[in-house]
Amino acid sequence: MASNEDFGRVGIVLANTGTPSEPTPRAVRRYLRRFLSDKRIAPMNPLAWGLILNFFILPKRSKASAAKYQKIWTKEGSPLKVSQEKLARYLQARYLEFGYDVCVESYLNYGDRSMSQVFASLKDKGCSKIVVLPLYPQSAYSTTGCIKDCVEAARSALPASCKVEVVESYSDNDVYRRAIARSIEAAGFDVDSTDRVLFSYHSIPVQDIESGDAYELQVGSSSLMIASELGIDRRRWTIGYQCRFDKGRDWLKPFTKDILKRWAQSPAKGRIFFVCPNFAIDCLETLYDIDHEIKPYYLAQCREAGFEVDESDFVYVSCLNATKAHIRVLVDVLKPYIEG
């Protein structure tokens, strides 16, 4: 891999949604207020939503979410923040090995630092080009779109000579597809057995798709490529959606729990390998929801249907997190932006 000395110092921003600073109702409330006030997240006009959010949602949800965060919090802090910062450090080290003049920063939307502050830091370090990589393999209006809003707001603080690019998505990247497939195999998936795979993605409002969001198409393409890499029959894998935000809008379906309920009643029993390909790093929606809500739900449905099951019949495949496999993915995704 050649160095980028002809292109000057490049700044890389690994961007993600965010996390509260502490697993307390106060910190969670502060984080949720910022997150749920985003125009791309709010389900209605700002005035009406502001009243509902501050007087009804935040008082209840802050306490409930804080209790969940307390279950997954580590000695180092928030799992998402800790893992992403490690990922940034490891990526920086890999570029140094390659001889690239690169500065890597970790950015969490709705976090302690603004995108403007991150850009200013990279500018002070002499970066003449900045590449923002939203860690959402499948881009959506409410994920990558939020990051792009922050980029546009922060761009004016940079000199005109500093080029800024945003990686829209990397759902069709071959290294990403192979990394997810290998992680499923490493979790114990046996292609010659009755094991099944459920690709579970974060749901989005149907109105976003009707407005032109290509998320659903990217989800289908990614899942097909990963399944093909595994070499499994189409009848042994499917796609579901989790993390519906509210019930006032139509959300992309089928919902993950509906699929699990149907599979629990099926006589074709086999282990379920539960994968979340659009989460680059494990977070509340994977570390808590799957272990405390989704897995117990599936096992209960199996027992209700009269089948003997145990914990090993439901296998969660962790996100790529701060692994060597993930570094290889990011290096390949960023290659045309670094060298071009």
Q: How far is CA 228 from the centre of its chain?
A: 22
Do residues 337 and 104 lie in contact, with contact meaning Cβ atoms separated by under 8 Å? no
Confidence of residue 305 (pLDDT cuts 50, 70, 90): very high
Instruction: Give domain status of residue 82, yes or no.
Output: no
Question: pLDDT at position 6, please?
Answer: 55
Name 144's Cβ contacts closer than 8 Å, sequence gap at least 6.
Answer: 134, 136, 166, 168, 169
Q: How far is CA 156 from the centre of its chain?
A: 28
Rounded to 10 degrees, what is the CA torsion of 291, 297, 303, 307?
-80
Is the pLDDT at 216 greater than 60, yes or no? yes
Under the phi-then-psi rule, with left for phi > 0, alpha for psi from -120 to 50, and beta for the rest, what region is 339? Answer: alpha
Pairing state between β 163-166 and 10-16: unpaired
Instruction: Give domain status of residue 259, yes or no.
Output: yes
Average pLDDT over residues 200-216: 97
The pLDDT tens digits for 150-172 are 999 999 889 999 999 999 999 99
Do 187 and 308 fall into the same domain? yes
Question: pLDDT at position 248, please?
Answer: 83
Do 187 and 54 fall into the same domain? no
Average pLDDT over residues 52-63: 95
Do 67 and 178 fall into the same domain? no
Percentage of the chain lying above the pLDDT 90 cut: 91
Please report where in the chains the tokens 């501050």 appear, as a residue.
54
Segments forming the whole domain that contains residue 251: 174-317
The pLDDT tens digits for 29-53 are 999 999 999 999 999 888 899 999 9
**Mean pLDDT (the chain, rounded):** 95
Instruction: Give domain status of residue 269, yes or no.
Output: yes
Instruction: Give domain status of residue 110, yes or no.
Output: no
CATH of the domain at 193: 3.40.50.1400
Residue 46 has a CB neighbour count (10 Å cut-off) of 11
Average pLDDT over residues 251-259: 97
Is the pLDDT at 292 greater than 80, yes or no? yes
Name 271's Cβ contacts closer than 8 Å, sequence gap at least 6.
Answer: 188, 193, 194, 195, 196, 312, 313, 314, 315
Residue 248 has a CB neighbour count (10 Å cut-off) of 8
Confidence of residue 7 (pLDDT cuts 50, 70, 90): low
DSSP 8-state symbol, 53 = I
Is the pLDDT at 340 greater than 80, yes or no? no
- Dihedral sign, CA of 182, 223, 173, 133? negative
Instruction: Give domain status of residue 52, yes or no.
Output: yes
Question: pLDDT at position 246, please?
Answer: 84
Percentage of the chain lying above the pLDDT 70 cut: 98
Under the phi-then-psi rule, with left for phi > 0, alpha for psi from -120 to 50, and beta for the rest, what region is 306? Answer: left
- Dihedral sign, CA of 60, 65, 68, 73? negative
Question: pLDDT at position 73, please?
Answer: 98
Is the pLDDT at 301 greater than 70, yes or no? yes
Model pTM score: 0.95
Instruction: Give domain status of residue 77, yes or no.
Output: no
Question: pLDDT at position 184, please?
Answer: 98
The pLDDT tens digits for 306-317 are 999 999 999 999
Instruction: Give domain status of residue 301, yes or no.
Output: yes
Q: How far apart are CA 97 and CA 84, in angstroms?
A: 20
Is the pLDDT at 1 greater than 80, yes or no? no
Confidence of residue 4 (pLDDT cuts 50, 70, 90): low
Average pLDDT over residues 228-247: 94
The pLDDT tens digits for 70-106 are 999 999 999 999 999 999 999 999 999 999 999 999 9
Instruction: Give domain status of residue 58, yes or no.
Output: yes
How many domains is the chain partitioned into structurally?
Answer: 2
First to last CA, the chain: 13
Rounded to 10 degrees, what is the CA torsion of 283, 287, 293, 298?
120
The pLDDT tens digits for 104-159 are 999 999 998 999 999 999 999 999 999 999 999 999 999 999 999 999 999 988 99
